[in-house]
Amino acid sequence: EVQLVESGGGLVQPGGSLRLSCAASGFSFSSYEINWVRQAPGKGLEWVSYISSSGSEIYYADSVKGRFTISRDNAKNSLYLQMNSLRAEDTAVYYCATFGDAWGQGTTVTVSS
Amino acid sequence: QPVLTQPTSLSASPGASARFTCTLRSGINVGSFRIYWYQQKPGSLPRYLLKYNSDSNKQQGSGVPSRFSGSKDASTNAGLLLISGLQSEDEADYYCAIWYSSTWVFGGGTKLTVL
């Protein structure tokens, strides 16, 4: 069974940092491009970042460029998102997703003082 | 002007068909892109429905019924999602997406009400 499981969300103060993780199982993780997508409360889906299967290509949404860093460890079947200089507008549910059938359940990030 | 524009809402009756549009910004040719469609019910994660480039280049999501189908309308520069035989369980938000200029772009979503 294809499975993506995010972790690492929580409550953080503005300007703080968090590291999200996404553990993959049930498919050949190292063969897949993968993304982080977020959804603010009551809002639509917003793409955050992309990483190629090898990690050699990385792209970010303008809203997070320079603050967030995506990475992966294919040996551990894991994806990461290091989030620094967090703002209130980063508050959202964060999903890891292949943009095909594989989406995680999401992890909630709340940025508030 | 956004890259992808979707109507905010759509209403249809059970058993009828619903046609969702995803209009690409002027200057971005729908013929050059695969259009992805997702369904999201309240409190749930997005569900991948299908991707459509052409009738010979399309993919249905795992377990997605054939009454969900994709197409394009070149005259309006739009990707289309058609749901036939509407059921109450189809009530949800529907999002389109494309890979454009090294970014994924989502439409704002269309809320389907089945009444």
Residue from the list B48, B61, B106 with its beta carbon closest to the beta carbon of A47: B106
Q: How many helices (H) and strands (E) does chain B have?
A: 0, 11
Predicted local distance difference test score (pLDDT) of residue A74 = 98
Closest of A103, A93, A87 to residue A41, by C-alpha: A93
Q: Span B73-81, mean pLDDT?
A: 98
Q: Which residue from A95, A96, A49 is spatially nearest to A70, judged by alpha carbons?
A: A49
| Beta-sheet pairing, B92-100 with B35-40 | antiparallel
The CA-atom distances, in angstroms, between A97 and each of A3, A108, B19, B41, B112 are 10, 15, 26, 17, 24
A45 and B38 within 8 Å at the Cβ level: the answer is yes
Q: Do B36 and A45 touch (CB under 8 A)?
A: no
- C-alpha separations of B72 from B5, B23, B32, B48 in Å: 14, 10, 11, 18
Contact list, A45 vs chain B (CB under 8 Å): 38, 40, 46, 95, 97, 106, 109
| Residue A112 to chain B, least CA–CA distance (Å) | 22
**The Cα angle at residue A38 between residues B1 and A91, in degrees rounded to 5:** 100
pLDDT reported for residue A32? 95
Phi-psi region of A77 (alpha: psi -120 to 50; beta: other; left: phi over 0): left
Give the chain B residue whose CA is nearest to the CA of A107.
Answer: B45
- The lowest-confidence range among A50-59, A99-108, B66-75 is A99-108
Distance (Å, rounded) from C-alpha A87 to C-alpha A85?
A: 7
Would you call A47 and B104 a contact, using CB atoms and an 8 Å cutoff? yes
In residues, how long is chain B? Answer: 115
Q: Please tell me the distance from the alpha carbon of residue B109 to that of residue B39, in angstroms, as a whole number.
A: 9
pLDDT for A55 equals 97
pLDDT digits (tens, 9 = 90+) for B29-65: 999 999 999 999 999 999 999 999 999 999 999 999 9
Q: Tens digit of pLDDT for each residue in A17-60?
A: 999 999 999 999 999 999 999 999 999 999 999 999 999 999 99
Q: Is residue A100 very low, low, confident or very high in pLDDT (cuts 50, 70, 90)?
A: confident
Query: How close, in Å, is residue B85 to chain A by CA atoms?
Result: 23
Q: Which of A45, A50, A51, A98 to mutate to test the interface with B (most CBs of B within 10 A)?
A: A45
In A, which residues are within 8 Å of B107 by CB distance?
A: 44
Q: How far apart are the first and last CA of chain B?
A: 32
Q: Which residues contact A110 (CB under 8 A, 6 or more apart)?
A: A9, A10, A11, A12, A91
Distance CA B65, CA B69 (A): 9
State how far the Cα of B114 lies from the Cα of B89, in Å rounded to an integer. 8
Mutate to test the interface with B, among A99, A105, A107, A108 (most CBs of B within 10 A): A99
A74, A12 Cβ separation under 8 angstroms? no
